[in-house]
């Protein structure tokens, strides 16, 4: 099935990806291979589940590679919901889940083996290479350098890189922190101390599955991060298949442009959800474009597109207006354009709801609001879940400040965070120009056709495939940018799903002609973009970028696989973790105040996110220091840990409980709370936190 040149390209790709990472750190490759084996087992199992489910969605008219991508996306989302359902019933036994994943891997191998004859027939029926296709296939090797950087980023412990993300604060607080709470509890349930656990956890369920398969939360951390990395790889493959609907050249170029986007390297360093959301969004786009191709079973194809878009919403609520809405709108407009049935967008909307339903039900049962903590004005919340002060703190913490709400400020953020962002690279201005040009051309063609009395070609020609693709990309870009500007925190990664449309539109612009000259110019353009992106991706690892500061690379710190840098007594990041865990191991229980980075702390360290109700804050507001100490003791706490720096940071940003102040702990100290250890990260010895002993 593969030619000698294809095998050479694959060998060179692996050599650059694995060898490049090994040159920087052999330890990183060892971690990637050992931990990544479990990550691959999870996603291969997801593919096997997806192939079983795809039997309900006839897609034999699609190329095998397209079927595989859609099956991988469908199976990944379905596996996430399977973890949610069984986890809610307390079925989190390691042996049971090893059996499930092993069975699904056998199914995946069997399904691939069944597809071999079709793959051979499909390869034999392909036309001879034209228009520099052989040179374009070699261009794919460029993505290997970015995969090497992704491997390095994914094998560093969470909390060690990306200062812009608070050194992984969100990851430790809830992307990995909440799954650890579930893992320690042995079931998925309501977490009254972590409001973020009420968001859809489509990708976090795969992180939880990593913990279950390892039988330990912290040991599973690199497996979880490599799952995130591989979801980015799958997203690139999905974008390649979308572009291949226009032509093989556009597909390859789009895949390379997406695969060399620095943002994917950046996101591989943290266990977030954006890589998974990009994968589901690109797969939903692929399925949406194929709805009009289906001669029969168009409704099932629409349902598949809706379910995949719903899985994207299961990663982050913003995907509903930024991904699901424009794709449903495209299917509707495409149906009008083709003068076909208008049922497709209705069925697709139903698919979105079906995929979202488990998360809405979980939230509704636990909090009385299916989208808690959102839309409380309309849906409210159950008694005891929240109070007015928490609600106001949430609103104040997640709405723009008065100085940031002006149109000028929002436009400036749009320019800095997306249009001219090095994270996205040059595909943004090229893609936008391409979409605008395609829109103008379509309007011109439509007017010319109206004057002649002719109909626009709505068949399956390359021109129509290009028109459909640009229409879908244009709708995603226009709606997403509007939502991003006026209804989000103006954080660049919230627009990650636009990597697909920008890459596809740029590929169409670079390879608009099939001539050899145009193709080689396009290859040159992709090469220049890849080189610019490589420079930006390498800069992500640079620290000390302030004026006059010495620059150095975080890669030089050799943190690959060094979880002990986070959990040991001499940790340069979190020296308090080892002491707290030691007290818990000795039978103690610790009330953690000011800090909510739960992941590295053992069960028995009770954290609370600042937006939740906090019984300690309520007690501090009502009791004397002596009574409060007695209250702490009755709750079974042997120690109290206070993070002074985090308390100050939260008070100046998101807000903090008014009753909890440094002065409170001065009064508690006079009442008998004994400081037994202080922790510092700097040579000057200034403590950022203190551990207190509760009197007997």
Across 398-407, 490-499, 611-620, least confident range: 398-407
Whether residues 631 and 511 fall in one domain: no
| Pairwise pLDDT comparison (1 vs 121), residue with the higher score | 121
Residue that finishes a domain, picked among 478, 509, 541? 541
Residue 378 lies in a domain: no
Region of poorest pLDDT, from 69-83, 268-282, 373-387, 515-529: 515-529
For 572-616, how does the pLDDT look when each residue is reduced to its tens digit (9 = 90+)? 889 999 999 999 999 999 999 999 999 999 999 999 999 999 999
Q: Look at residue 586 and tell me if it is in a domain.
A: yes
Distance CA 130, CA 118 (A): 23
320 and 175 within one domain:
yes
Residues 582 and 457 in one domain: no
Alpha-carbon dihedral sign for residues 156, 162, 167, 173: negative
Mean pLDDT of 190-199: 96
Same domain (yes/no): 57, 90: yes
Tell me the per-residue pLDDT of 327-376, one tens digit each, with 9 for 90 and over.
999 999 998 888 777 899 999 999 999 999 999 999 999 999 999 999 99
Per-residue pLDDT tens digits for 647-684: 999 998 889 999 999 999 999 999 999 999 999 987 66
3 state DSSP class of 460: coil
415 in a structural domain: yes
476 and 338 fall within a common domain: yes
Q: Is the same domain home to 656 and 510? A: no
**Cα 31 → chain centroid:** 21
pLDDT score recorded for residue 298:
81
Taking residues 545-560, what's their average pLDDT?
71
Tell whether 486 and 621 lie within a shared domain: no
What percentage of residues in the chain have a pLDDT greater than 90? Answer: 74
Distance CA 262, CA 240 (A): 17
**Structure token pair of residue 418:** 């997306």
pLDDT-derived band at 544 (thresholds 50, 70, 90) equals low
Q: Which residues constitute the domain of residue 173?
A: 4-122+133-367+399-541
Please check whether residues 495 and 608 belong to one and the same domain: no
Arithmetic mean of pLDDT, 565-573: 90
Evaluate whether residue 372 is within a structural domain: no
Asked if residue 129 has pLDDT above 70, the reply is no
- Is residue 100 within 8 A of residue 45, CB to CB? The reply is yes
Tally of domains within the chain:
2
**What confidence score (pLDDT) does residue 533 get?**
96
59-73 tens-digit pLDDT: 667 889 999 999 999
Q: Which of 108-117, 367-376, 429-438, 452-461 has the least mean pLDDT?
A: 452-461
Q: Name the residue with higher pLDDT: 546 or 113.
A: 113
Q: How many residues does the chain have?
A: 696
Please tell me the predicted confidence (pLDDT) of residue 256.
97
Are 602 and 672 contained in the same domain?
yes
- State the DSSP string of 35-88: HHHHHHHHHHHHHHHHHHHHTTS--TTS-HHHHHHHHHHHHHHHHHHHHHHHHH
Check whether 547 has a pLDDT greater than 80.
no
Residue 547 lies in a domain: no
Bigger pLDDT: 44 vs 544: 44
**Distance between alpha carbon 686 and the CA centroid of its chain, in Å?**
36
Higher pLDDT, 267 or 460: 267
CA dihedral 261, 267, 273, 277 (to 10 degrees): 0
pLDDT computed for residue 460 by the predictor: 46
pLDDT single digits (tens) 131-143 = 667 778 888 999 9
Higher-pLDDT residue of 416 and 116 is 416
| The predicted structure's pLDDT at residue 456 | 47
**Is 123's pLDDT higher than 80?**
no
- Does residue 217 lie in a domain region? yes
What pLDDT sits at residue 458? Answer: 46
Residue 687 pLDDT > 70, yes or no? yes
Q: Which pLDDT tens digit goes with each residue over 439-496? A: 888 777 766 666 665 544 444 456 788 999 999 999 999 999 999 999 888 899 999 9
Please indicate, yes or no, whether residues 592 and 507 belong to a single structural domain of this protein.
no
Reported confidence tier of residue 125, pLDDT bands at 50, 70, 90: low
Which of 479, 506, 541 is the endpoint of a domain?
A: 541
Flag whether pLDDT at 620 surpasses 70: yes
Among 653, 645, 651, 637, which Cα is nearest to 692's?
Answer: 637
**Is 493 inside any structural domain?**
yes
Mean pLDDT for 532-550 is 76
| Same domain as 468, residue 614 | no
Q: Distances in Å between the alpha carbon of 84 and those of 357, 496, 598?
A: 12, 25, 20
In this predicted structure, which of 15-24, 524-533, 535-544 has the lowest mean pLDDT?
Answer: 535-544
Does residue 546 fall inside a structural domain?
no
Max Cα–Cα distance, the chain, nearest Å: 92
Tens of pLDDT, residue by residue over 275-317, are: 999 999 999 999 999 887 766 678 889 999 999 999 999 999 9
Task: Mention every residue, 6+ apart, whose C-beta is less than 8 A from residue 562.
Answer: 156, 157
Q: Do residue 574 and residue 457 come from a single domain?
A: no
């Amino acid at each position: 099935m593969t030619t000698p040149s294809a095998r050479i390209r694959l060998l060179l790709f692996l050599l650059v990806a694995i060898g490049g990472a090994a040159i920087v750190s052999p330890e990183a490759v060892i971690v990637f291979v050992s931990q990544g084996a479990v990550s691959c087992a999870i996603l291969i199992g997801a593919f096997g589940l997806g192939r079983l489910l795809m039997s309900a969605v006839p897609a034999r008219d699609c190329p095998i590679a397209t079927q595989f991508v859609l099956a991988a996306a469908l199976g990944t989302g379905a596996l996430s919901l399977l973890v949610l359902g069984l986890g809610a019933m307390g079925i989190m036994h390691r042996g049971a889940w090893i059996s499930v994943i092993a069975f699904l891997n056998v199914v995946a191998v069997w399904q691939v083996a069944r597809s071999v004859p079709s793959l051979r027939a499909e390869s034999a029926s392909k036309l001879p290479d034209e228009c520099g296709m052989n040179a374009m296939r070699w261009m794919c090797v460029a993505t290997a350098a970015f995969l090497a950087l992704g491997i390095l980023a994914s094998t560093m412990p969470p909390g060690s890189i990306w200062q812009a993300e608070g050194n992984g604060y969100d990851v430790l607080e809830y992307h990995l922190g909440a799954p650890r709470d579930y893992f320690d509890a042995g079931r998925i349930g309501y977490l009254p101390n972590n409001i973020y656990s009420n968001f859809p956890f489509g990708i976090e369920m795969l992180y939880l599955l990593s913990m279950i398969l390892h039988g330990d939360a912290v040991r599973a951390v690199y497996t979880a991060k490599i799952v995130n990395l591989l979801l980015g790889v799958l997203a690139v493959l999905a974008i390649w298949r979308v572009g291949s609907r226009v032509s093989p050249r556009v597909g390859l170029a789009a895949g390379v442009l997406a695969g060399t986007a620095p943002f994917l390297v950046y996101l591989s360093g943290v266990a977030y959800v954006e890589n998974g959301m990009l994968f589901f969004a690109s797969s939903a786009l692929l399925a949406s474009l194929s709805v009009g191709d289906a001669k029969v079973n168009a409704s099932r194809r629409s349902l598949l597109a809706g379910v995949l878009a719903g899985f994207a919403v299961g990663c982050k609520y913003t995907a509903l207006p930024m991904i699901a809405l424009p794709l449903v709108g495209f299917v509707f407009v495409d149906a009008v354009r083709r003068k076909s049935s208008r049922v497709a967008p209705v069925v697709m909307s139903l698919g979105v709801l079906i995929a979202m339903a488990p998360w809405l039900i979980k939230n509704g049962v636990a909090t009385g609001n299916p989208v808690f903590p959102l839309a409380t004005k309309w849906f409210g919340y159950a008694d005891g879940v929240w109070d007015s002060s928490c609600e106001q703190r949430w609103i104040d913490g997640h709405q723009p400040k008065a100085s940031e709400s002006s149109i000028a400020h929002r436009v400036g953020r749009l320019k800095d965070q997306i249009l001219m962002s090095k994270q996205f690279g040059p595909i943004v201005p090229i893609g936008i120009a391409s979409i605008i040009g395609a829109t103008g051309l379509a309007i011109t063609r439509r007017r010319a056709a109206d004057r002649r009395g002719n109909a626009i070609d709505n068949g399956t020609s390359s021109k129509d495939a290009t028109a459909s693709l640009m229409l879908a990309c244009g709708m995603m870009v226009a709606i997403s940018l509007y939502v991003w500007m006026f209804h989000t925190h103006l954080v660049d990664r919230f627009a990650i799903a636009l990597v697909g449309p920008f890459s596809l539109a740029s590929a169409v612009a670079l390879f608009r002609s099939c001539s050899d000259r145009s193709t080689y110019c396009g290859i040159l353009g992709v090469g220049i973009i890849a080189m610019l992106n490589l420079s930006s991706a390498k800069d992500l690892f640079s620290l000390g970028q302030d004026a006059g500061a010495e620059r150095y690379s975080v890669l030089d710190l050799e943190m690959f696989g060094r979880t002990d840098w986070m959990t040991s007594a001499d940790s340069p990041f979190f020296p308090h973790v080892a002491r707290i865990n030691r007290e818990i191991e000795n039978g103690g229980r610790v009330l953690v105040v000011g800090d909510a980075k739960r992941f590295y702390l053992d069960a028995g360290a009770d954290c609370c996110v600042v937006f939740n109700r906090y019984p300690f804050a309520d007690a501090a507001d009502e009791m004397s220091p002596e009574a409060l100490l007695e209250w702490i003791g009755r709750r079974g706490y042997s120690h109290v840990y206070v993070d002074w720096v985090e308390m100050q940071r939260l008070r100046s940003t998101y807000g903090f409980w008014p009753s909890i102040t440094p002065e409170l702990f001065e009064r508690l100290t006079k009442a008998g709370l004994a400081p037994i250890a202080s922790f510092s990260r700097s040579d000057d010895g200034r403590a950022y936190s203190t551990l207190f002993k509760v009197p007997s």
